[in-house]
């Protein structure tokens, strides 16, 4: 026994001391490092989309809706509120843009930067919303998809209120899910609801979708939620009441009322196609829309048999589809107003839902699906920005430059629809007079005159009188564009035609032989452009 003890003691004495284990980082430090990684990733996304959008916004012509924004906010704050009410909008974006231009300037790019700011602010909100149903990695992927959607980037570079609407709608959705989870979020939900109601009238459909979800899932909410939702609804109604009274006192927004067609089921699926793939020409869009049954089928395959769908996912599904369905149905009952940009609040939930479906596949399949989505987004973005057939492109800058270069005092420019005069005038710099068809006196109060085919000959005769050429610019068809075009074709020889985009075409018709009256050179001095026009008329 002594010998054994000695041998064991000798072995212990000769053994090397154990190597101390490396200290592990405290859990709070690991958590902070993970948050830092997420923050850096979000900043990279925001920086990337900022660079791409800035490049795009500096090369794109001012569009019709943007011209409206610039014109409306160029007035005093009181007049801005008046013209916004007449244009059937709520005023928050226009008030912000009014003061934004006072501080930073009133150029087109400067005005577009405001929309980019709200887009950048929405990106982290999408990540936060996604984290309620997805892992950290998949939530970042959802934020990345949202960031580089062609549809979102288009409106991130347009001087309109749609990214502001997306910002407050996403914020509202975050607070609603937290209420669903029983967390303290009522104050934030109420504030975001009141402010969101002043971003766009269609924000209300986001609130209605939340109300529908609550009523069909009441047992999943804490007791007393009904009274609190009712209080929020009353606060929103009281907050909007002064504006609605002001709106009706001015004639219920009859100043401009574009004619929108009644939507079809194709338009419904087309809206989601635009959400994901942006604005594509008819041929590409037909292919994309026809693939929707396959997309739905793959979505069902992603749901495992017996898989329990959480209340949060159920709400995401509701937020992605219910507002669009409501607008679609009301377009038949009330009036057609089904436009995809009005429903931008559904995009963040839709993206999160798509990513959730992908995350349910196996590891390899989900990675392949994610790579395919990225590839399709890249191709769609390139097609949208570089294809001349992109349907929403409105190159008023180029058409105004061409008319400025060609037309003189002996010519007249006729524009239809009348409200498209705003983006054209922004770039136009020539002596040729501008008229609209139907004739619209913008100095007079009231709505744009309705088109009457019976008065068209007299109006055309009046604008053609004492002129040589009519530069007829047709865009934003309100249902009478073809009637105007056919009248000119039947009564005047067409000199030229140029198509600038799918909904912007310039025709030149010869309507007379202009003769410049004699002028006393001692009393009147012609400008260089007038002299050129005179020489052309004499030829």
Write the Ramachandran bin of 88: left for phi over 0, alpha for psi from -120 to 50, otherwise beta.
left
15 assigned to some structural domain: no
Enclosing domain of residue 438: 396-538
Answer yes or no: is 258 within a domain.
no
Task: Looking at the structure, tell me whether residues 357 and 450 fall in a common domain.
Answer: no
Distance from C-alpha of 174 to C-alpha of 168, rounded to nearest angstrom = 10
Are 285 and 347 members of one domain? yes
Boundary (domain end) residue, out of 355, 386, 417: 386
Q: Are residues 403 and 382 in the same domain?
A: no
Do 304 and 222 share a structural domain? yes
Is 412 part of any domain? yes
433: domain CATH number is 3.40.50
Residues in the chain: 539
Q: Residue 6 falls within a domain, yes or no?
A: no
Return the SS3 of 122.
Answer: helix
Token pair listed for 409? 């005092």
- When divided into structural domains, the chain yields a total of 2
Alpha-carbon gap, residue 58 to 52, rounded angstroms: 10
- On whether both 237 and 123 belong to a single domain, the answer is yes
| 107 and 194 part of one domain | yes
Domain boundary among 320, 353, 386: 386
382 shares a domain with 416: no
Q: Which residues fall within 8 angstroms of residue 80, CB to CB, at 6 or more apart?
A: 72, 73, 91, 94, 95, 98
Which tokens belong to 238?
A: 């009281």
Cα angle 15, 16, 21; round to 5? 130
What does the pLDDT read at residue 525?
41
369 and 400 share one domain: no
Q: Are residues 100 and 121 in the same domain?
A: yes
Pick the last residue of a domain from 386, 409, 425: 386
Could you tell me if residue 20 is inside a domain?
A: no
- Provide CB contacts within 8 A for 233, sequence distance 6+: 207, 211
Domain membership flag for residue 373: yes
Whole-number pLDDT of residue 238: 96
Q: What is the reported pLDDT for 141?
A: 94
What does the buried/exposed string (b/e) look like for 173-185 if buried means 16 or more CB atoms within 10 Å of the residue's CB? bbbbbbbbeeeeb
- Taking only the tens of pLDDT, the chain with its 539 residues reads 445 444 444 444 444 444 444 444 455 555 555 888 889 999 999 999 999 998 888 888 888 889 989 989 988 999 999 888 887 889 999 999 999 999 998 889 999 999 999 999 999 999 999 999 999 999 999 999 999 999 999 999 999 999 999 999 999 999 999 999 999 999 999 999 999 999 999 999 999 999 999 999 999 999 999 999 999 999 999 999 999 999 888 765 554 556 677 888 888 988 998 999 888 877 777 777 776 656 665 665 556 655 678 999 999 999 999 999 999 999 999 888 899 999 999 999 999 999 998 888 878 888 888 898 899 888 988 888 887 777 788 889 999 999 999 988 899 999 998 888 989 988 998 888 999 999 888 777 667 788 889 999 999 998 888 889 999 999 988 889 999 999 999 999 999 999 888 788 999 999 887 544 433 333 334 344 444 443 444 44
Q: In angstroms, what is the C-alpha Rg of the chain?
A: 30
Are 475 and 334 contained in the same domain?
Answer: no
Instruction: Note the pTM of the prediction, 2 decimals.
Output: 0.83
Contact (CB, 8 A) for 222 and 185 = no
Beta bridge partners of 508: 471, 496
User: Does residue 341 belong to any structural domain of this protein?
Assistant: yes
Residue 23 in domain: no
Q: What is the per-residue pLDDT for 105?
A: 87
């Amino acid at each position: 026994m002594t010998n054994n003890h000695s041998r064991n003691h000798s072995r212990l004495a000769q053994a090397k001391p154990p190597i101390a284990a490396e200290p592990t980082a405290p859990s709070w430090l690991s958590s902070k490092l993970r948050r830092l990684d997420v923050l850096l990733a979000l900043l990279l996304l925001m920086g990337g989309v900022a660079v791409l959008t800035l490049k795009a916004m500096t090369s794109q012509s001012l569009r019709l809706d943007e011209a409206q924004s610039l014109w409306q906010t160029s007035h005093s704050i009181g007049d801005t509120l008046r013209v916004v009410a007449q244009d059937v909008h709520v005023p928050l974006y226009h008030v912000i843009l009014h003061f934004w231009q006072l501080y930073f300037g009133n150029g087109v790019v400067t005005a577009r930067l405001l929309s980019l700011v709200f887009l950048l602010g929405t990106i982290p909100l999408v990540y936060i919303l996604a984290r309620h149903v997805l892992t950290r990695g998949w939530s970042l992927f959802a934020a990345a998809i949202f960031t580089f959607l062609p549809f979102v980037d288009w409106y991130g570079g347009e001087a309109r209120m749609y990214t502001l609407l997306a910002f407050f709608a996403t914020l509202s959705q975050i607070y609603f899910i937290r209420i669903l989870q029983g967390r303290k979020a009522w104050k934030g939900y109420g504030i975001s609801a009141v402010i969101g109601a002043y971003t766009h009238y269609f924000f209300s459909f986001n609130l209605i979708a939340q109300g529908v979800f609550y009523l069909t899932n009441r047992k999943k909410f804490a007791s007393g939620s009904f009274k609190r939702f009712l209080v929020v609804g009353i606060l929103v109604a009281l907050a909007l009441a002064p504006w609605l009274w002001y709106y009706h006192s001015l004639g219920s927004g009859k100043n401009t009322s574009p004619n929108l067609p009644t939507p079809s089921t194709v338009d419904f699926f087309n809206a989601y196609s635009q959400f994901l793939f942006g604005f594509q020409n008819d041929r590409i869009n037909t292919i994309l829309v026809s693939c929707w049954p396959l997309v739905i089928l793959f979505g069902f395959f992603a749901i495992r048999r017996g898989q329990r769908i959480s209340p949060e996912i159920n709400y995401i599904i509701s937020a992605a589809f219910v507002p669009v369905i409501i607008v679609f149905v009301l377009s038949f009952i009330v009036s057609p107003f089904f436009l995809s940009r009005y429903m931008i609040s559904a995009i963040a939930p839709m993206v999160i839902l798509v990513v959730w479906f992908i995350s349910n596949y196996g590891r390899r399949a989900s990675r392949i699906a994610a790579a395919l989505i990225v590839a399709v987004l890249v191709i769609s973005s390139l097609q949208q920005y570089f294809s001349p057939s992109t349907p929403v492109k409105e190159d008023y800058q180029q058409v105004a430059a061409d008319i400025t270069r060609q037309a003189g005092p002996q010519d007249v420019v006729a524009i239809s629809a009348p409200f498209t005069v705003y983006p054209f005038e922004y770039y136009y710099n020539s002596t040729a007079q501008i008229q609209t068809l139907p004739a619209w006196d913008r100095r007079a109060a009231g709505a744009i005159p309705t088109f009457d085919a019976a008065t068209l000959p007299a109006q055309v005769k009046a604008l053609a009188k004492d002129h040589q050429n009519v530069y007829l610019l047709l865009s934003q068809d309100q249902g009478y564009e073809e009637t105007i075009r056919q009248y000119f074709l039947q009564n005047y020889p067409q000199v030229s035609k140029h198509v600038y985009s799918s909904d912007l075409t310039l025709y030149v018709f010869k309507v007379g032989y202009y003769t410049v009256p004699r002028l006393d050179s001692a009393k009147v001095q012609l400008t260089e452009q007038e002299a050129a026009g005179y020489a052309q008329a004499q030829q």
